[in-house]
Structure 1
Amino acid sequence: MVERTAMEQVEQQQSAPAERRSGKRHSAVLLLGKLCGDVPGVCLVHNISEHGLMARFVDVPAVGDSVCVEVRGLAPARGTVRWVRGQKAGIQFDSSQPYERIFSTENEDGTIPRPPRFAVTLGADVRLGDCKFAAEMIDISAGGAKLTAVEGVQAGQAGHITVRPMGTAIFGTICWVKGGRFGFRFVSPLPIDTLATIIARR
């Protein structure tokens, strides 16, 4: 989860009355959201209820647009953009959503909820200590990525990956290795603009 800045907290407090419908309680959060569709996008959800959400977008939708948003713990939910102000927009869900699941530590099937991931096919240069090799990035989220592995890669190794062709270097640690692939957990979550740029190159 990305930490809120003091300015974002103030903005949320100042704008809350205009963004909330009477009788509908929202939970203040800061979650990565995935815009589903032919061209996936990214947003940062600031608050959410069973009826809708408010988020900050990189590519801002227009009032009246139909969108589908996925967040941690919830299946993709379709809704309609009801208002836009700067980079922020309010979305009303087409049907009520069990939004309390975003706070759960375990899904109904026993798996652990995780932020939405974005499928990509990008080259990456990996450096783990003195070991350097080229890999393919298979998917990415704000907190980590999945890449192809080479022989000898082990969980616990620290280093960085450089995403081509942007040259974006991301530091982190290998958290698992399996079936010729490995998971790379970032030291700190990617800024939403950086993540959006990488996804756009997919």
Structure 2
Amino acid sequence: MLKDYDLRDDGLAAAGVADRRRPGKRHRAVLLIGRATYAGTEVACLIHDISAGGMMARFAVPPVVGDRMTIAMRGLDMVEATVRWVRDRKAGLEFAMPQPVERVFQPVDEAGLIARAPRFALVRPALLRFGDKRLAARTIDVSAGGAKIATPWPMRVGDTGQLLLPDTGSSLYGRMCWVRPSDAAGEAGVRCGFRFVTPLSLEALAHILAG
């Protein structure tokens, strides 16, 4: 029997509150993008509620009861989990081992580093648009909050504009938050971090990853 997250019923999880009738049972409401890896693919999910024993998440394409996956989220190491129920696009997952979920709510980790959302590998052609200039680039990875980009063109921290992804028709507004000379073999130019003005929704992120 699950002691701190009843994955057979998402009623309490949807409320995101503690069940005070059961000492020690605790639910925390969150809205964080996670990265689920199963069936050989990486997909995005939106974590609604979490406890030491499991979580409820929404998927663009729902998994199947019994699916086993690994979950990456801000503040925790990779977590192994099993799908216990599915309703529409929401699923209840049971962790293989209890997790220190308090880390999910801490802005920095134990090493003093900023806890960041998981990133998804995304090697795709892209364009950077600044005013009337369109500059060739390619994405390296993406998260709900931004993208890592490689480009042969010089960039400056603070440059604001759009990241255009032709494969999906996405146009994302943001600014350069860091710029470094590329250290990749055979790659000229710079690598840079482009922070989105507005974090991507689950649907927008899933659309980009599926493109």
What is the TM-score when the length of structure 1 is the normalising length?
A: 0.87
In structure 2, the residue matched to 1:154 is 156
Which secondary structure does the structure 1 equivalent of 2:113 belong to? coil
Alpha-carbon distance in 2 for matches of 1:155, 1:12: 46
> Which of 176, 191, 196 pairs up with 2:206?
196
CA distance in 2, matches of 1:15, 1:160: 36
The answer to whether the 8 Å contact 1:27/1:49 transfers is: yes
- The Cα of 1:104 is off from its aligned counterpart by 1.2
RMSD: 2.2
Counterpart CA distance in 2 for 1:90 and 1:141 is 23
C-alpha separation in 2, matches of 1:122 and 1:151: 17
In structure 1, distance between residues paired with 2:68 and 2:87: 17
Deviations 1:134-192 (A, max 9, x none): 10100001110000133431010100011022221111111110121010000101121
Alignment match, 2:61: 59
Offset at residue 43 of structure 1 (A): 0.5
Residue in 2 aligned with 1:36? 37
- Give the letter for the 1:59 counterpart: V
Change (3 A) 1:16 1:105: closer
> Could you tell me how far apart the structure 2 residues matched to 1:12 and 1:128 are?
47
Determine the C-alpha separation between the residues in 1 that align with 2:167 and 2:67.
32
Percent of residue pairs bearing the same amino acid type: 44
- Which SS does the other structure have where 1:55 is aligned? strand
User: Structure 1 stretches (4+) deviating beyond 6 angstroms?
Assistant: 11-14
Determine which structure has more spread, i.e. the larger CA radius of gyration: 2
Find the partner of 1:184 among 181, 194, 200: 194
Q: Hey, what's the Cα distance between the residues in 2 that align with 1:13 and 1:157?
A: 45
- Deviations, residues 2-34 of structure 1 (Å, cap 9, x unaligned): xxxxxxxxx9779449xx795521111100010
Consecutive unaligned residues of structure 1, counting only runs of 5 or more, are 1-10
Aligned to 2:187: none
Deviates more, 1:29-38 or 1:92-101: 29-38
2-structure distance, mates of 1:200, 1:167: 12
Higher helix content, 1 or 2: 1
The aligned runs of 1:65-144 (5 Å cut-off) are 65-144=67-146
For residues 48 and 14 of structure 2, what CA distance do their matches in structure 1 show? 11
Partner Cα separation in structure 1 for residue 127 and residue 13 of structure 2: 44
- Per-residue CA shift, 1:13-69, capped at 9, x if unaligned? 79449xx79552111110001012431001100010110000111111111111111
Residue 198 of structure 1 aligns to a residue in which SS? helix
Normalising by structure 2, we get a TM-score of 0.83
> What corresponds to 2:4 in structure 1?
none
Q: Distance in 1 between matches of 2:36 and 2:168?
A: 22
Compared CA separation, residues 14 and 200, structure 1 to 2 (3 A):
closer
Match of 1:4 in 2: none
Match of 1:145 among 144, 147, 159: 147
In structure 2, list runs of 5 or more residues that go unmatched: 1-9, 182-189
Deviation string 1:86-120 (CA, Å, 9 cap, x unpaired) is 11110010101011101112112222110000011
